[in-house]
Structure 1
């Protein structure tokens, strides 16, 4: 291999054009030393320019394979952003992917955002255009979900009426878990570009822990719903919320902590798109056996439990509707809305991932990213609707809920 770099320049920007491309190699990095702080250069510095044009947002990435001056595991591909002059700028990893192909060779290319479905699905065979669309859907959905999850938690903290209801405490715990999941997920690609591997490991652990917490609180939602609607009368459980919190936050901590104690489970994960040579990096579980053996198994048990309770509760709701229909007091759209809301609270829509096992089903992946990345928003709407309904019924009824005798 060349001591400088092997460069692959995409042809798309230059179709039907005669264009000069300038490639300059700097044997010394002194040219850029002004803005370099605590950085070490492990290869030559390459400058690629097209006179009169700013080449960016390439569908197929510009790729360069560098020969390292000396072997090192903590290397990253970076480019120099000029401000006014060459010496007035800074180095950035934005849009750069680092792939060590051997001990002394590193391949640099641009990257894309990561779809939300990578948390449970193996999406290595997805096409580039679909990957990019799913990525935007995931990031927008996660951003909205994180914002509204935070609103749910804050409204709960500052509302004494909301804190008085155990059901609201469970909803808020699920919202808090989703907030951590969405927030940490949005940092997964950024952390993968850093040279400090511990940051990527921390983000990967946070994503996994908050994902397991979300699943656990979904199961708690289902269990509480069963106690509330099926076994209605006077259930007293001592220190009810304390026990639920130990399960909801403690069990995932034991699982994630156990995996963290094992070596090389969390860190930078890489996937390649099917129609290009683009390789995308993000922080997640590196071992596929752990991904399927822990995540899929854990979710499968919770999914079957929640689905059974959802069917039982739905039958009860529609049975009550048949009774109420005699008096024309129960419109069907309200019952349907209630069931859809319960599906959201119990995470039933995460079960869509079973329909993408072993092959790529684009409609399912789009539904998965849309429905699940915005789950925090749906819970916020549910709680607002429930609060409005409770205010309307407050003068005439007394709430029936599992009592926490620790108060």
Structure 2
């Protein structure tokens, strides 16, 4: 069997070249509800009994079928199929079969692709046909949502088809969402209570079109739901504006700091400075990837979006890792006393760069990166490339940062306590100068350890929007603040490789000078 492209077209529209199905099989109408909808139980029975309809086809290889309001197509399977089956579905009953590679999908509002792999599985499991039926006015269990075009697509091949590496694709073109959220759903047709779930299906939106990528055969529909409206349009625009300015400014000053380090101070850099530069590299990549993310997402190139999502996620996890390492370095120098660790910097770099890579590779392998739509209360939206599964995002990112936060916050509190103990031990003349220096060091450590990220990850309730603003301002400008901290600390304290109790902050070269008089 060569690649079949099956089209429904209106009589008023010019028919594409080709032939119609061999026969038409009008079957007895299916009982409907008072509103004209087909019950899930009747729909499931029809799909389960398609094999008996195939027996009615005789020697015909294709057939157009109709059961009252239900329309569809049946195609007998053959052992030679190079491309799978493509179906274009407009609104009429006229069916045309094209036995060539002419791509006319753009002429039709709906289309379905069944890959070759599905045919192989069906033939191996004694399947004998491919059937695609449209069920208008199918009942669904969410009163606040509707199916797109008020219809459901049922696909059956006479065998259990699942875990496809090349997915079934269902396309809807020129969709007017009217501010609603589109979500591809499936129902297995077996449960008495109809439950539409997202498992096994991915939703991708490009230029007004929606595509469902599903790894199994069953009933499919696109559910249109009201947006959650978790953030107002004004807040979203303000936060976006602040982020763009802050990230751009941070990138500039991080680049300046890295330039200063590479051309001026690299040879005499301490371990603390080297660690700080690694953090700056991670933060620069994070700011850059965030700024270009939406532009990449709007290109509509799925592969580019996956790379973008993975890159930004890696930069974020690497930034978290270097927050942890900054705190660890401070702890090793202030509380355990200087110790000689063989290949210390190499081990630190492996921790900071390799561990995030392992996490990202695992998510890439399991296909967790995709388009993510952010909705506002007026139905507008913005697209970005990120982790589409909220559960994975919560488990990986919040879990990862929670570990970092607990450790860095403990070190931060211990450091502040040490500073306060020192202030009580100095005389008043020295104390005034020391307070200014210590306050600067404490603020620097607060940013350096990434504690500001807690405003985003751990904020809930009535202060949620306020926390978004605090987080956006502090973290967007974090690179700028840390550059000022690095510059002033480098100017005030000469760099050397000797680690002492008065010059061991991992914030910058020996910046925690609060333990000795200035």
TM score, norm. by length of structure 1: 0.67
Helix, strand or coil for the counterpart of 1:280? strand
2:397 to 275, 295, 316: 295
Helix, strand or coil for the counterpart of 1:260? helix
In structure 2, the residue matched to 1:221 is: 326
> Measured at CA, do residues 102 and 284 of structure 1 come closer, stay the same or move farther in structure 2, by a change above 3 Å?
closer
- Cα shift readout 1:26-75 (whole Å, capped 9, x = no counterpart): xxxxxxxxxxxxxx99369xxxxxxxxxxxxxxxxxxxx99xxxx88698
In structure 2, the residue matched to 1:250 is: 354
1:334 to 437, 442, 453: 437
Contact 2:172 2:210 in 1 (8 A): no
In structure 1, the residue matched to 2:239 is: 134
Cα-Cα RMSD: 3.3
The CA deviation at 1:358 is 5.6
Q: How many residues are aligned here?
A: 302
In structure 1, the residue matched to 2:341 is: 237
Verify: 1:42 aligned to 2:106, yes or no.
Answer: yes
- Give me the whole-angstrom Cα distance separating, in 1, the residues matched to 2:365 and 2:404: 25
- Give me the whole-angstrom Cα distance separating, in 2, the residues matched to 1:145 and 1:357: 27
- Cα shift readout 1:190-243 (whole Å, capped 9, x = no counterpart): 1111132111111100110000000000000001111222233x3111111100
The CA deviation at 1:278 is 0.9
Helix, strand or coil for the counterpart of 2:471? helix
Asked which structure has the greater RCO (Cα within 8 Å, sep 6+), the reply is: 1
In structure 2, the residue matched to 1:206 is: 311
- Give me the whole-angstrom Cα distance separating, in 2, the residues matched to 1:346 and 1:75: 47
The CA deviation at 1:387 is 1.0
Verify: 1:160 aligned to 2:224, yes or no.
Answer: no
Structure 2: unaligned runs, 5 residues or longer: 1-9, 11-103, 109-147, 150-168, 176-204, 213-220, 223-227, 505-518
Contact 1:76 1:193 in 2 (8 A): no
Verify: 1:277 aligned to 2:341, yes or no.
Answer: no
The CA deviation at 1:321 is 1.2
Contact 2:323 2:449 in 1 (8 A): yes
In structure 2, the residue matched to 1:307 is: 409
Helix, strand or coil for the counterpart of 2:454? helix
TM superposition outliers: structure 1 runs of 4+ over 4 Å: 71-77
Structure 1: unaligned runs, 5 residues or longer: 4-39, 45-64, 78-95, 107-122, 403-407
- Give me the whole-angstrom Cα distance separating, in 1, the residues matched to 2:315 and 2:491: 29
Helix, strand or coil for the counterpart of 2:299? coil
- Give me the whole-angstrom Cα distance separating, in 2, the residues matched to 1:131 and 1:348: 23
The CA deviation at 1:279 is 2.1
- Give me the whole-angstrom Cα distance separating, in 2, the residues matched to 1:324 and 1:43: 82
- Give me the whole-angstrom Cα distance separating, in 1, the residues matched to 2:173 and 2:268: 49
Tell which structure's C-alpha radius of gyration is larger.
2
- Give me the whole-angstrom Cα distance separating, in 2, the residues matched to 1:366 and 1:338: 24
> Measured at CA, do residues 162 and 364 of structure 1 come closer, stay the same or move farther in structure 2, by a change above 3 Å?
farther
Contact 1:146 1:183 in 2 (8 A): yes
Helix, strand or coil for the counterpart of 1:141? helix
- Give me the whole-angstrom Cα distance separating, in 1, the residues matched to 2:475 and 2:267: 25
Contact 1:75 1:195 in 2 (8 A): no
- Give me the whole-angstrom Cα distance separating, in 2, the residues matched to 1:307 and 1:374: 21
Helix, strand or coil for the counterpart of 1:187? helix
- Cα shift readout 1:243-285 (whole Å, capped 9, x = no counterpart): 000000000000001110002x1121112112x1112211111
Contact 2:174 2:209 in 1 (8 A): no
- Give me the whole-angstrom Cα distance separating, in 2, the residues matched to 1:73 and 1:376: 43
Aligned pairs for 1:19-38 within 5 A: none
TM score, norm. by length of structure 2: 0.53
1:382 to 473, 482, 485: 485
- Give me the whole-angstrom Cα distance separating, in 2, the residues matched to 1:131 and 1:266: 23
> Measured at CA, do residues 336 and 292 of structure 1 come closer, stay the same or move farther in structure 2, by a change above 3 Å?
same
Contact 2:249 2:477 in 1 (8 A): yes
- Give me the whole-angstrom Cα distance separating, in 2, the residues matched to 1:314 and 1:192: 43
Moved more, 193-202 or 360-369: 360-369
Q: Point out the structure with the larger helix share.
A: 1
Contact 2:372 2:384 in 1 (8 A): yes
Contact 1:125 1:360 in 2 (8 A): no
Aligned pairs for 1:92-111 within 5 A: 98-101=207-210
The CA deviation at 1:289 is 0.6
The CA deviation at 1:135 is 0.2
